């Protein structure tokens, strides 16, 4: 069974018109078959394989001094495609920004948020276009659980943060009750109950407004996320200058004004979260614990996106605009595109417990 986001086949690379090419400042993996093929193909007099290095146990393309793929020409097009055709590309280059998860009897096709053309495509869609299926609890339990959380986010009667916190309560409550047990359908029934959802919504809405504390927590999170990239001189145009200005906030007046302007872009951020949940919350061989950890990671990504936009808006002193929002959705997604093992390592090293208390999630996301 194939499951595609309804707009999946509508994606088209915009090549030289792309404002944030995927051929710069991150690891571009080269699979074994491609590397072998590159032994006999040449570029500027050298074997293509000589442009490959091993980094953290993975073969990647050696970027040039500006952090750009050496095969990218002055028109931001791939020289290799011009020389050899698309078959020369590694699997990563050939498929990006498409992603496929194979669950055996179910294959899921999605688009990732690391590409500005994907963000542009999302902006034209309705939130319902992001839904996997009806959220009725009749699917396999973990898929049904994911559908429930997506349904919360898609519900325009809920704010984005309230919907996300409702979803995290369900996940963490399930994990607290059943741990690593196989989640059976009867465990989920209570969460699909409309009365339960109304009561949960009311309880979440009554949470304390911690805007200044939330803002300062996001400052620390931002600096932690960008630290390695600043050290390596990557994404400097987007993170270096604004990171230098980060300091504890003493008033929420400026941020309240930012929130008013950001409201116009909340539909796009809602779609961003829906796609993240569909693409990353449940992965092949995933279990309840991995869903909890990935929900936390997605919340960090969302908080960092919002904070990056805020810092840029504050530094420029101009009205918030679409390109600014899109830039930080793409850049933060690229910076936080960790492998599963690395996500666990980061979470275990950065927090007292791998699984957060619901209160910390509420603290991070704010009101």
Q: If pLDDT is split at 50, 70 and 90, which confidence band does 240 have?
A: very high
Is residue 134 predicted with pLDDT exceeding 60?
no
Q: If pLDDT is split at 50, 70 and 90, which confidence band does 136 have?
A: very low
Contact predicate 332/149, CB 8 Å: no
- The Cα-based distances of 284 to 79, 107, 180, 244 in angstroms read 35, 10, 16, 40
Report the pLDDT value the prediction gives residue 132, as an integer from 0 to 100.
Answer: 65
Burial of 15-52, coded b for 16+ CB within 10 Å and e otherwise, reads eeeeebbbbbbbebbbeeebeebbeeeebeeeebbebb
Q: If pLDDT is split at 50, 70 and 90, which confidence band does 135 have?
A: very low
Of all residues in the chain, what percent carry a pLDDT higher than 70?
98
Full-model pTM: 0.93
Strand positions, DSSP E, the chain: 2-4, 42-43, 46-47, 52-55, 58-61, 98-102, 107-111
Of all residues in the chain, what percent carry a pLDDT higher than 90?
74
Q: What are phi and psi of 6, to 5 degrees?
A: -60, -25
Where on the phi/psi map is residue 78: left (φ > 0), alpha (ψ -120 to 50), or beta? beta
If we measure between CA atoms, which residue out of 292, 278, 267 comes closest to residue 133? Answer: 278
If we measure between CA atoms, which residue out of 271, 326, 275 comes closest to residue 124? Answer: 271
The 10s digit of each residue's pLDDT in 58-71 is 899 999 888 889 99
Is residue 138 predicted with pLDDT exceeding 80?
no
The 10s digit of each residue's pLDDT in 305-363 is 999 999 999 999 999 999 999 999 999 999 999 989 999 999 999 999 999 999 999 99
CA 162 – CA 205 distance, rounded (Å): 7
Is residue 255 predicted with pLDDT exceeding 80?
yes
- Four-point Cα dihedral 96, 343, 334, 84, nearest 10: -30
CA 208 – CA 363 distance, rounded (Å): 9
Report the pLDDT value the prediction gives residue 133, as an integer from 0 to 100.
Answer: 53
103: tokens are 């669950």
CA 15 – CA 110 distance, rounded (Å): 20
Instruction: Sort strands 98-102 and 107-111 into parallel, antiparallel or unpaired.
Output: antiparallel
Exposed/middle/buried for 266, CB within 10 Å: 0-12, 13-18, 19+? Answer: middle
Contact predicate 247/268, CB 8 Å: no
Arithmetic mean of pLDDT, 204-217 = 94
Q: If pLDDT is split at 50, 70 and 90, which confidence band does 245 have?
A: confident
Arithmetic mean of pLDDT, 13-33 = 88
pLDDT mean across residues, the chain: 92
Q: If pLDDT is split at 50, 70 and 90, which confidence band does 110 have?
A: very high
Report the pLDDT value the prediction gives residue 137, as an integer from 0 to 100.
Answer: 46
Q: Range with the lowest mean pLDDT among 128-137, 250-259, 323-332?
A: 128-137
The 10s digit of each residue's pLDDT in 155-208 is 999 999 999 999 999 999 999 988 877 777 778 889 999 999 999 999 999 999
3-class DSSP assignment, residue 21: coil
DSSP state of 105: S
DSSP state of 136: S
């Amino acid at each position: 069974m194939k499951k595609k986001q309804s707009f999946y086949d509508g994606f088209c690379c915009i090549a030289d018109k792309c404002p944030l090419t995927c051929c710069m400042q991150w690891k571009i993996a080269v699979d074994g078959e491609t590397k072998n093929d590159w032994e006999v193909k040449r570029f500027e007099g050298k074997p293509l394989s000589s442009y490959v290095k091993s980094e953290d146990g993975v073969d990647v393309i050696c970027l040039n001094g500006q952090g750009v793929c050496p095969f990218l020409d002055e028109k931001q097009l791939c020289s290799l495609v011009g020389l050899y055709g698309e078959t020369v590309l590694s699997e990563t280059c050939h498929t990006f920004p498409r992603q496929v998860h194979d669950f055996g009897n179910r294959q899921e096709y999605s688009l990732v948020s690391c590409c500005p053309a994907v963000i542009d495509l999302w902006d034209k869609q309705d939130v319902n276009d992001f839904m996997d299926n009806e959220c009725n609890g009749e699917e396999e339990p973990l898929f049904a659980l994911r559908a429930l959380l997506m349904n919360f986010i898609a519900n325009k009667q809920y704010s984005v943060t309230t919907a996300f916190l409702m979803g995290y309560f369900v996940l963490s409550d399930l994990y607290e009750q059943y741990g690593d047990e196989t989640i059976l359908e009867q465990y989920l029934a209570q969460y699909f109950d409309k009365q339960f959802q109304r009561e949960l919504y009311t309880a979440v809405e009554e949470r304390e407004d911690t805007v200044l504390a939330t803002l300062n927590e996001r400052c620390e999170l931002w600096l932690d996320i960008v630290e390695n990239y600043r050290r390596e001189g990557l994404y400097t145009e987007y993170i270096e200058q604004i990171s230098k200005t980060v300091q504890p906030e003493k008033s929420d007046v400026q941020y309240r004004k930012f929130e008013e302007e950001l409201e116009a872009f909340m539909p796009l951020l809602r779609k961003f979260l829906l796609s993240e949940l569909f693409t990353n919350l449940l992965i092949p061989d995933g279990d309840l614990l991995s869903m909890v950890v990935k929900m936390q990671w997605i919340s960090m990504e969302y908080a960092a996106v919002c904070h990056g936009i805020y810092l840029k808006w504050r530094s420029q002193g101009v009205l918030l605009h679409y390109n600014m929002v899109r830039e930080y959705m793409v850049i933060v997604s690229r910076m936080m595109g960790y492998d599963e093992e690395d996500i666990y390592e980061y979470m275990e090293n950065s927090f007292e417990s791998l699984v957060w208390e619901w209160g910390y999630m509420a603290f991070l996301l704010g009101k």
